[in-house]
Amino acid sequence: MRMLTVYYANFFQKQWNLLTVVTIKQVFDAVDKLNSRPRKFLDFKTPYEVFEKLTGINIRNLMGYALMT
């Protein structure tokens, strides 16, 4: 959990109220950037790549759909 907090600190200022100041699009953009980073524990693959290999689903296509709904 600590590492997740550090990652999000790169995108959102500490004094921001995430419920009122940050838009849904900003949250999705931050999630996209975080999931596009290769991870050592995933053999330097991104979470997107691992998810697609395991499920056959390209999650980036679904993210665009989630923003529309």
What are 25-63's pLDDT values in tens digits? Answer: 877 888 888 888 899 999 999 999 999 999 998 887 776
Instruction: Give the count of alpha carbons within 13 A of 56, CB side only.
Output: 0
Residue 12 CA to residue 20 CA, distance in Å, equals 12
Q: Do 20 and 47 form a contact (C-beta atoms < 8 A)?
A: no
Question: Model-level pTM?
Answer: 0.63
Q: DSSP code of 13?
A: -
Question: Cα 29 to chain center, whole Å?
Answer: 7
Q: Where are the domains of the chain?
A: 2-68
